[in-house]
Amino acid sequence: MTDIHLQTYQGIYLFSDDRVSRQMLVEEFESVLDGFVPLSDYAGRRAQCAFAILHTDLSIDALVCFNLDFDHSGRPDIHWNTPIKQLAQQAAMTTCHDLHLRLASYNCCSVAWHQQKLWEPNAAQIKSLLAAISDNRLQLGKLAQRRAATSEIPKLNLSSSADLSALPLEQYREQEAKAQKIDSLQRTLAQQKKDLEALQRERSSLIKQLNDERESRQQQLQQQQDLLKQRYAKLLHQNVAVKAAQLQHAEQQLMQFEQRYNELQGQNKILLAQSEDSLVQQFSAAGINLEVDQPGVGRLRIAAADIYEYMAAPMVYVANCAGVSSELYGQWLAQRKKPICRGFEQDGQPCREALDKVGSLEEFVPGVSDHCVRHRQVAEDKSA
């Protein structure tokens, strides 16, 4: 991991329409993040920003391309917490539009969960960034030199070689006034330096307090999101369980109705058999049989003695002739007539996805032929 050395400069560059529209020092950017300096030209927008670490010759050492959202007053999102300096330290060397540098962008991100917070620069944006760095409106390097040059103010040296008493009275008073003025300025500057250091300490404390508060709010928001997810999952599970219980109850009722229907059919058959003048007996005596076309069995020849049985329950009769249950035969007829998925979604709603028609009764498999691939797996898991 490469550290950000002292012999480098740092700057923040904001883009609009593939060109650098604003640039600032890191200290100024921190004031923007704290909400002290709103950017009205970015109000209600998402800005593409770049954090650049430069060598002393203003060539790019590392570049982090990150997004920053602004509200309608031009203040940045209070939840923004992209660690741009950490990403710059962890960035790997790469080539970006003929530029060799350490890059952290959408396509070059060493930390996966930060990828969505980054963007990928194009050739026009890199060209505009290089031009802005070359213009050096931030006066990088020059600013450091001026700070070093003014860090200590030379004091007036009143040695014996410059004895004021040897000067004429008028010149003596003039030199003495200058010496007093310089001494006063030195004391004023010293006090201003102390005041500035105090303000910097206060600002650092305020920034730490704001960061702690931001982190606490993020943790609370995450906890609330986790709680909502748990409640939703619980409600969804309860809803599926209720739908499953209703479906099981309906199937039990259907079985009871079918059993009762078969009992009534048997009783009806007995009554018909006991009738000596019945039409069936007349057909049987005359040697008359009935032929019908039924799906799944083709042309079916029905003996005169079975005519009433067929007329009472055609589906049951045909299913018996086909060697399958009436329930399976009915499921196949339903799939043949309307080939859709009979499975249910997690919210209890029917799937109804279109399926291929199964033309042959022998090829029909309940739970497979009338279910889509997704609900077919669910049915297999339940049966297992």
pLDDT band at residue 154, thresholds of 50, 70 and 90? very low
Domain annotation covers residue 295:
yes
pLDDT at 167 over 70: no
Domain annotation covers residue 39:
yes
For 296-327, the pLDDT digits (tens) are 777 878 877 777 788 878 888 888 888 888 88
* Containing structural domain, residue 378: 243-383
User: Six-digit token pair at 161?
Assistant: 């070689």
Looking at the structure of the chain, the number of domains it has is 2
Domain annotation covers residue 191:
no
Domain annotation covers residue 177:
no
Domain annotation covers residue 202:
no
Per the CB < 8 A criterion, the answer to whether 321 and 336 are in contact is no
Domain annotation covers residue 122:
yes
The answer to whether residues 252 and 358 belong to one domain is yes
pTM for this prediction: 0.40
For 79-97, the pLDDT digits (tens) are 999 999 999 999 999 999 9
The answer to whether residues 19 and 137 belong to one domain is yes
The answer to whether residues 19 and 125 belong to one domain is yes
Per the CB < 8 A criterion, the answer to whether 340 and 358 are in contact is no
What percent of the chain stands above pLDDT 70? Answer: 81
The answer to whether residues 125 and 250 belong to one domain is no
User: Six-digit token pair at 18?
Assistant: 């593939």
Please choose, from the candidates 107, 115, 117, the residue with its C-alpha nearest in 3D space to the C-alpha of residue 81.
117
The answer to whether residues 251 and 379 belong to one domain is yes
Predicted local distance difference test score (pLDDT) of residue 328: 86
Domain annotation covers residue 272:
yes
Q: What is the mean pLDDT of residues 162-169?
A: 51
Domain boundary among 91, 115, 145: 145
Predicted local distance difference test score (pLDDT) of residue 335: 85
Helices first, then strands: H and E counts in the chain: 10, 8
Residue 269 contacts by C-beta under 8 Å, 6 or more apart in sequence?
308, 309, 312
User: Six-digit token pair at 246?
Assistant: 């209703």
249: β partners: none
Domain boundary among 93, 116, 145: 145
Domain annotation covers residue 223:
no
Predicted local distance difference test score (pLDDT) of residue 83: 94
9: β partners: 54
Please choose, from the candidates 123, 59, 52, 138, the residue with its C-alpha nearest in 3D space to the C-alpha of residue 87.
52
The answer to whether residues 367 and 253 belong to one domain is yes
Predicted local distance difference test score (pLDDT) of residue 164: 45
Domain boundary among 145, 162, 186: 145
